[in-house]
Structure formats: C-alpha cells, structure tokens
Structure 1
Amino acid sequence: MDEFNRLVSEQMATMEKLLFLQAELERCQKIEVELLALQEETDLESIQADIQLMKKELKEIQAIFEKQTEEVIDSYREMNLTPST
C-alpha cells in the first residue's frame, strides 16, 4: 500500500506540473498573439507614415513639374514671338 500511495503522489505531482505548464503555455501563446498584433500595428503605423511622406514629396514634385512646364511653354512662346535675325 505504501508503494501505491507513493506512486499516486508522484503521479499527482506530475499532473500538477502538467497542468501548470499547460496553463503557462496557453498564457504565453496569448501574449505571443498580442505581441504579433502590436508588431503589425507598429508596422502599419510605419507604413502609413511612409505613405504620408511620399504623398507630400509627390505634391512637391508635381508643383515643381508644373512650374517647369509653364517655364517651357513661356520659353517656347517667347522663342516663336521673337523674330529671328
């Protein structure tokens, strides 16, 4: 009977470790999912910031291009209006 009680006690201790580890594993997996979501949000924010910066640069380049286009047109008009000698 002593052997039986010892084996049952060992098995109960093993079961407690098993349950503890399962609970810890589930807790860690939940944290992992949350961290992955946070990382994705951080990546999203970074990409959104990049997009805003590129939109600003695009507007600036478009304005420069429009100004250059006007200068080209004005230069062409002046060239055609000025008589050649």
Structure 2
Amino acid sequence: MDHFNRLVSEQMATMEKLLFLQAELERCQQIEAELQALQNETDLESIQADIQQMKKELKEIQAMFEKQTEEVINSYREMNLTQTI
C-alpha cells in the first residue's frame, strides 16, 4: 500500500507540474499574441505616418508642377507674342 500511495503522490506532483506548465504556457502565448498585436499596431502607425508624409509631399509636388505648367504656358504665350510682333 505504501508503494501505491508513493506512486499516486508522485503522479499527483507530476500532474501539478503539468497543470502549472500548461497554464504558464497559455499565459505566455497570450502575452506573445498581445505583443505581436502591439508590434503590428506600431508597424501600422509607422506606415500611416509614412503615407501622410508622402501625401503631403505629393501635394507640394503637384502644386510645384501646376506652377511650372503655368510658367511654361506664359513663356510660350510671350514667345508667340514676341514672334508675331
């Protein structure tokens, strides 16, 4: 009977360790998932910041292009006026 009780006690201790490790594993996996989500969120914020910066630069370049177009048109008009006179 003592042998049986010792085996059951060892098995219960092993079961306790098993349950503890399973709970720890689940907890760590949850933390891992949260950290990955935060990392993705950080990446998303970084990409969104890049997009906003590029949109700003695009507007500036579009404005510059429009100004240059106007200058080209005005120069062409002046050239034609000078040549026809």
TM over 0.5: yes
Query: TM-score, normalised on structure 2?
Result: 0.95
Aligned residues: 85
d(CA) in 1 for partners of 2:79 and 2:59? 30
Residue in 2 that maps onto 1:42: 42
Tell me the residue number matched to 2:83.
83
Deviations 1:33-77 (A, max 9, x none): 111111111011001000000001001100110111011001100
Report 1:1-85 matches (<5 A). Answer: 1-83=1-83
TM-score, normalised relative to structure 1 = 0.95
> What is the identity percentage for the equivalent residue pairs of Structure 1 and Structure 2?
87
Displacement, 1:84? 6.4
Whole-Å Cα distance in 2 between the matches of residues 82 and 49 of structure 1?
A: 49
SS in 2 for 1:60: helix
Q: Whole-Å Cα distance in 1 between the matches of residues 82 and 30 of structure 2?
A: 77
- Matched position secondary structure for 2:83: coil
Aligned amino acid, residue 49 of structure 2: A
Query: 2:12 & 2:83 partners in 1: Cα distance?
Result: 107
